[in-house]
A and B are shown apart, each in its own frame.
Chain A
Amino acid sequence: MAKILAVDDSASMRGMVAFTLRGAGHDVSEAENGQLALDAARGSSFDLVLADVNMPVMDGLSMVRELRTMPAYKGVPILMLTTESHTDKKMEGKAAGATGWLVKPFDPEQLLATVKRVLG
């Protein structure tokens, strides 16, 4: 269905996201940090990017800022997977160019619902 890039330094979280989305028929690529995600994004085109905020090498916010400078990713939905339920953190993500967020913890049903929500 959709090509989705899942970015998280935690193998378990990334695995769960990828497993869930693949189970729903999506084509999922995985990246361990923001830098690797940018490399992947340059080499391919994605319909949706799901990214953790706190990551080593390059964090999620920097990654979003970089992605938004790339013409191919101007309007692509980018969701932050975040444990921060505080408004200021969400706003930081928004300011960086994120489309929205999914607050951890989420279960597979919530993830699928959110992805469906953003992909229409």
Chain B
Amino acid sequence: MSKAGLAQFQQVFIEESLEGLDTMESSLLALDNGGDAELVHTIFRAAHSIKGGAATFGFPEMSSFTHEAESLLDEVRSGKRAIDGSIIELLLRTVDCLRGMFARAQAGEPLNDAVAEGLRNELAVAMGRGVPAGDVQARRAEDQADAWIVRFRPHQGMLAGGNDPLRLIRELAGLGELDVTPEFDRLPASLAALEPTECHLGWTIELKGPVKRADIVAVFDWVEGECDLAIEAKHVVAPVAPAAAAAPAAAAPAANVADAGAARAQREASAESSSVRVSIDKIDGLINLVGELVITQSMLDTFREGDIDASRLAMLEHGLAQLARHTRELQESVMGIRMLPIASVFNRFPRMVRDISQKLGKQVKLELIGEQTELDKTVLEKIGDPMVHLVRNAIDHGLETPDKRRAAGKQDTGTLTLQASHRGGSIVVEVSDDGAGLNRDAIVAKAIQRGIIASGEGMSDEAVADLIFQPGFSTASVTTDLSGRGVGMDVVRRNVADLGGAVTIRSTQGKGSVFTITLPLTLAIIDGLTAAVGDERYIVPLVSIVESVQLKGEAVRSVAGGGELFRFRNDYLPVIRLHDMFGCENAVHAIDEGLMVVVEGEGTRVGLFVDGLIGQQQAVVKSLEANYRRVQGVSGATILADGSVALIVDIAGLVRMQGRRKAA
């Protein structure tokens, strides 16, 4: 069996173990909140699987480490040890440590570190022992002889366990030369009394050859207790000289080093490819759809021969309609493969909320709603960090300490809610708390101090709340080590914008705040408006469009520095002429002959001047970076119905380009 064959299961093992660790963590947290004993079994099972798999798939350090945790869990499970907060805490840290080990395993780095060593000792101490003896169990000295007498008398029921005496004798024959004498004394006197499913014979076996006792015992290990077994040495030989015994031991580490090198190369290879686990239902649905597509295709194929007369026109229309439906369903199903429940992101929060709230002396109840809501895998991987920041902020700045809450007439325990749901073609994730809410005066004062605004007068609450997303803004008077990590809400907004989404806040002073993240269902397809600019077509993402207006020529004013502005509601917005930006020929230049599309990118509104809008369409995003190179102001390309290529504009990028032009 090749080692390469095993590598594929190593990756599966790592993935299922990470899931197992998630289960351990959530069960430990549930146990901490007064969960039942069944949880201990679940936790034990997860640890047990990791231990067994780790050893099999080439991570002995992880296996022996998990063994310590498993032993502790076994004592809890069997009732020898009561579980308390300190044990839960210790086991939670074990889960963290194992996660780190798996990360290092995937990176091909050494698994053990100081944290793991420290935890091993703590686990051992928790079980009332000293430092564990280590991985290598001292082997018993084996006695050896050059001939043995084995007396083997199976109990009558031994056959029922699936063990055949003949097989055992054959196995003995593999060790040396046999001389077998059967014993018939237990045979019944009459054939009628013979029970064919039972064993009535016994054997005395002489085994010749230099064999260790342990090897003989190993042959019979499965039938221990099901037979009478006596093993006696016929001739004893002198024990093996110590020098000879030491030699293989010295050779072993060298072999291990070589093994480790090979294993690392394998791990490096497997760490590269990321995979997604898809439920069988989804795959079956796809296969089903493809089947129907084939049927429709063969039906449409019949129109290839001969003329299409009027009588068959209805059938053709029907076929085409079916094709359209199947194509749409197929598209949705294929997208669905990349969709995973947001639970995998939500699940990291119970632990985090517990740790942070304990650290800050706050009481927080976390509610998770809509965990089964599915998101694109890429979105899912990237939404974690912004959410972590929002949750940290909510506990740190939003929720009050129990005495402040009591003074405000609230319950001691604050509630933090994470909620995910589908809304139209988007996914909405809300992080809400029932804390103090935003303090308008404090925000305005800080924004003035930071030079973000000149005065807060006349600003709507909405506009004030939006100030916290400005770069360099922080309202906490003292920066705590939790939120003050040099990452502001502006980064949250930018991260979400990178995913094609938006983040907004609603807050009521004294009642709490709600942060709403709106995300597209997938990154692979966007809804957009097709805009004509000269001979070219561009796709403007629908999410960034505010509205489009037809302007009179005089509505646009030139300002010093070469820019153009137009009045939109109560603002003056800069104009970005797309034909100018991308150098399109034959484009409309006169303002009143074209169309001004008001778009928003990273909180900045601009007018995008185009010839006209052609229509709305779903665009399958093709990466320019992968096929050509990164282009400023363009997020990708798509293929239009007529086969031509249209570029998808990146509004935020265009705004930055315009800014640089003005500066130049």
Interface residues of A (CB under 8 A from B): 9-13, 15-16, 19-20, 23, 54-56, 68, 74-78, 83, 91, 94, 97-101, 104-109, 112, 117-118, 120
Contact = CB atoms under 8 A, between A and B. Distances in A.
Contact of B225 (A91, A101, A109): A91
A16 B9 contact: yes
A69 B436 CA distance: 65
Nearest to A74: B160
26 contacts: A10-B13, A10-B49, A10-B53, A12-B9, A12-B13, A13-B9, A15-B9, A16-B6, A16-B9, A16-B56, A19-B5, A55-B45, A56-B45, A74-B160, A74-B197, A75-B197, A83-B51, A94-B161, A98-B161, A104-B53, A106-B56, A107-B56, A112-B1, A117-B171, A120-B167, A120-B170
B9 A19 contact: yes
Given A13-B53, A13-B56, A83-B52, A99 B162 contact: yes
Interface in B1-43: 1, 5-6, 8-10, 12-13, 16
A98 B460 CA distance: 75
Interface residues of B, number: 38
A19 B5 CA distance: 8
Of listed A54, A106, A112, residue having the most chain B CB within 10 A:
A54
Nearest to B161: A99
Given A12-B12, A105-B63, A112-B1, A97 B45 contact: no
A55 to B, nearest CB: 8
The 9 closest A-B CB pairs, nearest first, are A105-B55, A100-B222, A99-B162, A108-B1, A12-B13, A77-B162, A105-B56, A12-B12, A104-B52
Given A15-B9, A20-B1, A105 B161 contact: no
Contact of A100 (B1, B10, B163, B225): B163
Contacts of B226: 94
Given A105-B52, A108-B6, A97 B13 contact: no
A115 to B, nearest CB: 12
Given A94-B161, A97-B160, A12 B53 contact: yes
A104 to B, nearest CB: 4
A94 B52 CA distance: 20
Interface of B: 1, 5-6, 8-10, 12-13, 16, 44-45, 48-49, 51-57, 60, 63, 159-164, 166-167, 170-171, 197, 221-222, 224-226
Nearest to B168: A117
Contact of B162 (A11, A78, A91): A78
A100 B160 contact: no
Contact of A11 (B16, B55, B163): B16
Contacts of B10: 12
Of listed B6, B221, B222, residue having the most chain A CB within 10 A:
B222
B197 A13 contact: no
B16 A12 contact: yes
A101 B55 contact: no
Contacts of B63: 105
B162 A75 contact: yes
A25 to B, nearest CB: 13
A68 B162 CA distance: 10
Contacts of B60: 105
B16 A10 contact: yes
A97 to B, nearest CB: 6
B140 to A, nearest CB: 14
A111 to B, nearest CB: 9
A78 B53 CA distance: 21
Contact of B167 (A15, A19, A74, A118): A118
A83 B1 contact: no
A20 B9 CA distance: 11
Nearest to B59: A105
Nearest to A101: B222
A38 B167 CA distance: 26
A120 B164 contact: yes
Contacts of A91: 225
Contacts of A118: 162, 167
Contacts of A100: 162-163, 221-222
Contacts of B162: 75-78, 97-100, 118
B605 to A, nearest CB: 51
A78 B222 CA distance: 11
B49 A9 contact: yes
Of listed A10, A98, A107, residue having the most chain B CB within 10 A:
A10
A85 to B, nearest CB: 9
A105 B163 CA distance: 23
A75 B221 CA distance: 18
B49 A23 contact: no
Contacts of A120: 164, 166-167, 170
Contacts of A112: 1
A66 B161 CA distance: 13
B502 to A, nearest CB: 39
Nearest to B11: A12
Contact of A99 (B45, B49, B163, B225): B163
B441 to A, nearest CB: 56
B180 to A, nearest CB: 16
B69 to A, nearest CB: 13
Of listed A12, A16, A100, residue having the most chain B CB within 10 A:
A12
Given A23-B1, A99-B222, A120-B170, A54 B160 contact: no
Nearest to B166: A120
Contacts of B159: 75
Contacts of B160: 68, 74-75, 97
A76 B161 CA distance: 8
Contacts of B45: 54-56
Contacts of B13: 10, 12-13
B486 to A, nearest CB: 40
Contacts of A107: 1, 56
B7 to A, nearest CB: 11
A69 B48 CA distance: 28
Contacts of B16: 10-12
Contacts of A74: 160, 197
A117 B167 CA distance: 8
Of listed A9, A13, A56, A118, residue having the most chain B CB within 10 A:
A13
Given A12-B13, A117-B171, A54 B56 contact: no
A108 B51 CA distance: 18
Contact of B56 (A56, A78, A99, A104): A104
B220 to A, nearest CB: 10
Contacts of A98: 161-162
Contacts of A9: 49
A107 B161 CA distance: 25
B346 to A, nearest CB: 22
